[in-house]
Amino acid sequence: MHTFVTLLNFTDQGIQNLKDSPHRADMFLEVAEKAGARVKDMYWTLGHHDGVLIIEAPDDETAAAVLLSLGSNGNVRIETLRAFDWAEFQAVLDHIS
């Protein structure tokens, strides 16, 4: 499984429907699970970003599909980062000549 960190920012629509955010989060958990991804952590945050998701997915395509479905609902804008654990990053470094 690969790890992805997604930074979330509410859209105007998302702010207007803020009280529905926990329910939408529960629905996202189901969508991710059905697609073969797993939400490891989910946080609502203060500061530059309104939320952070940490998900695991078997491949980039699954992660992209799940996260694009989240963004397509119009409540959040997403920015996703592929995260590498120690072993994965060591494997990347092993490819550097």
pTM of the model: 0.90
**Residues 32, 65: Cα–Cα separation, whole Å:** 9
Kindly give the confidence (pLDDT) of every residue in the chain, 97 residues in length, as a single tens digit, with 9 standing for 90 and above.
999 999 999 999 999 999 999 999 999 999 999 999 999 999 999 999 999 999 999 999 999 999 999 999 999 999 999 999 999 999 999 999 7
Domain ranges of the chain: 2-94
Which amino acid is located at 92 in the chain? V
pLDDT confidence of residue 83 = 97
CATH topology of domain 2-94: Alpha-Beta Plaits (3.30.70)
Closest CA to 29 of 70, 60, 72, 75: 70
